Every structure is written in C-alpha cells, then in structure tokens.
Amino acid sequence: MNASRDKRRDKRPARGPQAADGRRQAAREEPPVKRPLTRRPGPLPAETLPLILEVEPGADYALLDSGSGRKLEQYGPYVIERPEGQAIWQPALPPAEWARADAVFTGDTDEEGMGRWRFPREPLGETWPMKHDGIDYLGRFTSFRHVGVFPEQGSHWSHMEDLIRKAGRPVKVLNLFGYTGLASLVAARAGAEVTHVDASKKAIGWARENQQLARLADKPIRWICEDAMKFVEREERRGNRYDIILFDPPAYGRGPKGEVWQLFDDLPVMADICREILTPKPLAVVLTAYSIRASFFAIHALMRDTFAGMGGEVQSGELVIREKSAGRALSTSLFSRWVAG
C-alpha cells in the first residue's frame, strides 16, 4: 500500500487492457484469497492502558496553538497553519499571531483530499531543511497538507532506539508504510539493519534523499517500493525474520499495481503475518492508526489476541502533541504496541 500518509481516496475505476481499436476493456482480476485466521492459543499478554505518549514543544518543532478546526505549528524556520478537525476549542493566541504564518494550507480540508498551499508573506520553495533529534531531513509542502514528518511519532522512535541500543546484539527492523524514512533513519543510527517498505516511488526517493542529508548513507537500509501486504506475505514464505516491526497503515490506500487496502478488513491479516515474521527473540511490534473512527481498545484487543502465548505486554493509547500556547493536548492518532518481556 501507499506508505505515505497521503491516504488518497482514489475511487476511479481500474483501467483495463487496451483493445486493438483503442478502447479500454474492463479489468478482469481474480479476487485475492483471504488468509484464514484462527484465534491464537495461550494467555494474553499483560496490558497497560490507556498510555498517553506526549510530544512537548521543542526547538525543531512546536504546536504553537490550535482551535476552530485549525492548528498553528513551527517547523524549523517556518510557521505553518493547517486544518485540524479535532481542534474543536477556540484558539488561545490572538489573530495577529496566526497572521504570522509563512504557509497556510487551503482548498479541500478533508483528511484524504487534495488542496493547495498559500504563502502570505513570501513565496517559499517546495522543500526546506529540518532536523529531528540531530537527524537532518527535508520538510516538503505536499498537496495532501502533510509536510514529511509526523512529530508525534517521536515517542515511538525514542522507544525503538532505546530497545536497539540495549539489545546488545544485531537487530533487524522492518518499517512498513515507511513514508519519508525518519523512523528508518533513527533505527539505522542506533545500529539496526533496516528494511523500509513503501508503495510510493516519490516517498522512497524522498527517504533516500533524507538518508543523504542525515549523513547516514553508510548505514544498512534497504529501500523497497512495494505493496506492504505483498511484501510481508513474501517475507513469510522466504523465512525472513525481524526483531522490531513498525506498521503505520492508512485507513484506505492503493498499492503500485492497484492493490486495495481497507484497514478494518486487512489489518488483522497483516498483524497475524507480522507475528509470523518475528525472530525467535523479538523486541517489539508497533502499530499506529490514523484517521479511523474507532477506540484504541479495538486495536488493543487485536494486538493482545495476535500475540497471545508470547508473553510480554501490549501497551495502547494515544499519541498527543502538547500545545505551547495554552498547554492543551491535541490527539493525533491511536496506537498499540507489543513489547517482549
């Protein structure tokens, strides 16, 4: 699936092969065979919930203010205003502070829809230099209102980095739906061998560029442009195994060959395969879910069932960003992670 969190709602019908007269024939595809799932035996892992992981304002990123369906953020040198449906309160900063924005996302405000950027102060280039915990990368103004990094994920990255450094052995990390590669770079810097999978050629190119900017070109990262489900199915058949798996799937997505991803239909299968491709001494599996109408209890129950009999603990809750202006917490996503005992 497209691993960038563009989450395009591409509802155009698939185009079939072209006939001799130039007309398009209807696409004929065999429906995929569903992987049979059975409930795993054994006791459920211990649980911690709700766990709220916060990102505080920092020098490289800060949520400056939010409210009235918008959020005002500092990304490196730029102040950026974007839609935020969960900000149902009123802004704390005066309008004059919001008017300082260097870039404002306008147009289609749907999470999945395309839009455009407006630059009230001066025209800006498509990219600009950014930094996360000493790792250089590029911010980018995309037509899907994202800018190439999801700061709330920093909590997971720090946790993963700590696991890698304390393992005392070689660690293999699989980053599914890897987008622009910040998680992969953090893992590689910590000493892991990383496999990064994303269905978007553009995202893979951007991630490779970030690797060069971060001066981590010598680190072992495999950049793979492929449908995430097909990739893990193949890894299971080949017997390839990983110590840490991150998967951050969209609610809906399409793979490079038209593969369709529906989170509630396909997530249980992917979680099951992720269990199968863990090493005998795994460290963690981290699932993040954006833009879904569900409680974290749903993915918490799925992860506990999936890792039944393996011990450890499933920790679930929300990722939030702490606002600089009034100290409010803006929830960005649900998560559930299994951590080995």
173 contacts 164 by C-beta, under 8 angstroms? yes
243 contacts 172 by C-beta, under 8 angstroms? yes
Q: Which amino acid is at 302?
A: L
* Beta-carbon count within 10 A of 94 CB: 9
Segment 277-321, tens digit of pLDDT: 999 999 999 999 987 778 899 999 999 999 999 999 999 999 999
- Paired with 133 in beta bridges are none
Whether the per-residue pLDDT at 1 is higher than 70: the answer is no
What is the value of pTM for the model shown?
Answer: 0.86
Question: Tokens 């995309």 identify what position?
Answer: 142
The two tokens of residue 149 are 């990094």
Whether the per-residue pLDDT at 209 is higher than 60: the answer is yes
- Exposed, middle or buried: residue 285 (CB in 10 Å: 0-12, 13-18, 19+)? buried
Segment 143-177, tens digit of pLDDT: 888 899 999 999 999 999 999 999 999 999 999 99
pLDDT at 293: 77
When pLDDT is cut at 50, 70 and 90, the band that residue 247 belongs to is very high
Q: Give the separation between CA 88 and CA 109, rounded to whole angstroms.
A: 15
pLDDT at 25: 40
pLDDT at 309: 97
Segment 123-147, tens digit of pLDDT: 999 999 999 999 999 999 988 888 9
